[in-house]
């Protein structure tokens, strides 16, 4: 990240709603490195205490907050210079979590006179979508815009990183199975590195005059199909399974079975590619780099290799 974007948040207090989650921990780290003071707000703040050592004395704060309880959100954003809503879920009452929760955050930010608001949405957010997840994400964007006109909305594609639940899930399957079934093999994704998304959040907070009021779709430098993603993973962990693309009829059937590999709503999401729209602004427009999957994934996927990190020593010796 450029120095100007980093200094924009120096010594400012930023509240991260849902800051202890996968993306939140990277946003918190980027803000702390840039000199910001960070307030982590989530239902059980104790689950985010692992972030304490990342900051200096008094640089991190923790507060209990729930987006379905507006009174807790108001307390969490009080006296903050910037607010980031990172809350997202595939389960529970998504109308309350995504839409009502986002509205509560934006309204509180407006009442408190917060200087910058960043709302993290998702590519595919669409109030007309057949998917409940995508529909509520789309409605949430409208609710945020109505309550806080100058909010920055970020729409990342599938976010990958050491702690993700996407790449790691497939890596675990590929490491164990000789034959790997692939649902929606030709569905396209534009995986974006979690650190790049975190940088986009910090940039938005640091310069709300430049980035406020806009929507940015965040994708990595490559568009990959579901099958190609799994083939990349297999190559990085030294596995060579047989990949078996499944017909959509089978995928739809699996999605209808309780306790299956994915829900019906997730199946609906897979019917639409998760790629940056043509002509839309993204990381490049924000002056930020896009990290290739192959540049960072081997660093954590090594644990899925047959001998873990020792396999790398063996490969080096052979070389």
Q: Cα separation of 248 and 182, whole Å?
A: 10
pLDDT digits (tens, 9 = 90+) for 151-189: 999 999 999 999 999 999 999 999 999 999 999 999 999
Q: Could you give the C-alpha distances from 185 to 90, 121, 264, 292, 297, in angstroms and in order? A: 22, 25, 17, 21, 21
Q: What percent of the chain has pLDDT above 70?
A: 94
Residue 62: the pLDDT is 96
What is the distance between the alpha carbons of residues 296 and 227, in angstroms, rounded to a whole number?
Answer: 19
- What's the distance, CA 74 to chain centroid? 24
User: What pLDDT does 258 receive?
Assistant: 84
Tell me which H or E stretch contains 43: none
pLDDT digits (tens, 9 = 90+) for 32-91: 999 999 999 999 999 999 988 888 888 999 999 999 999 999 999 999 999 999 999 999
95's CB contacts (< 8 A; 6+ apart) are 136, 139
What was the pLDDT predicted at 55? 84
**In which residue are the tokens 């509180």 written?**
108
Where exactly are the structural domains of the chain?
3-161+192-220+279-286
Give the pLDDT of residue 6: 59
- Mention the CATH class of domain 3-161+192-220+279-286: alpha beta
pLDDT in the model for residue 5:
55
pTM: 0.93
């Amino acid at each position: 990240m450029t120095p100007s974007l980093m200094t924009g948040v120096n010594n400012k207090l930023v509240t991260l709603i849902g800051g202890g989650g996968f993306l939140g921990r990277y946003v918190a780290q980027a803000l702390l490195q840039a000199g910001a003071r960070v307030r982590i707000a989530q239902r059980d703040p104790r689950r985010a205490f692992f972030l304490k050592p990342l900051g200096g004395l008094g640089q991190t704060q923790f507060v209990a907050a729930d987006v379905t309880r507006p009174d807790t959100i108001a307390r969490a954003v009080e006296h903050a210079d910037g607010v980031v809503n990172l809350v997202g879920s595939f389960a529970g009452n998504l109308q309350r979590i995504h839409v009502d929760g986002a509205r509560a955050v934006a309204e509180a930010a407006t009442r408190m006179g917060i200087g910058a608001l960043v709302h993290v949405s998702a590519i595919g957010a669409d109030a007309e979508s057949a998917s409940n997840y995508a529909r509520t994400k789309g409605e949430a964007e409208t609710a945020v815009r109505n309550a806080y006109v100058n909010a920055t909305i970020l729409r990342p594609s599938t976010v990958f990183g050491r702690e993700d639940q996407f790449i790691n899930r497939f890596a675990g399957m590929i490491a164990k199975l000789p034959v790997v079934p692939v649902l929606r093999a030709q569905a396209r994704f534009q995986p974006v590195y979690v650190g790049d998304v975190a940088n986009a959040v910090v940039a938005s907070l640091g310069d709300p005059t430049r980035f406020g009021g806009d929507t940015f779709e965040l994708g990595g430098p490559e568009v990959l199909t579901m099958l190609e993603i799994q083939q990349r993973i297999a190559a990085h962990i030294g596995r060579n399974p047989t990949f078996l693309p499944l017909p959509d009829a089978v995928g739809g059937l699996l999605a209808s079975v309780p306790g299956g590999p994915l829900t019906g709503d997730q199946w609906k999401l897979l019917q639409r590619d998760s790629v940056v729209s043509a002509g839309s602004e993204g990381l490049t427009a924000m002056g930020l780099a896009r990290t290739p999957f192959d540049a960072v994934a081997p660093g954590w996927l090594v644990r899925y290799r047959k001998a873990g990190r020792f396999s790398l020593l063996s490969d080096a010796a052979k070389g």
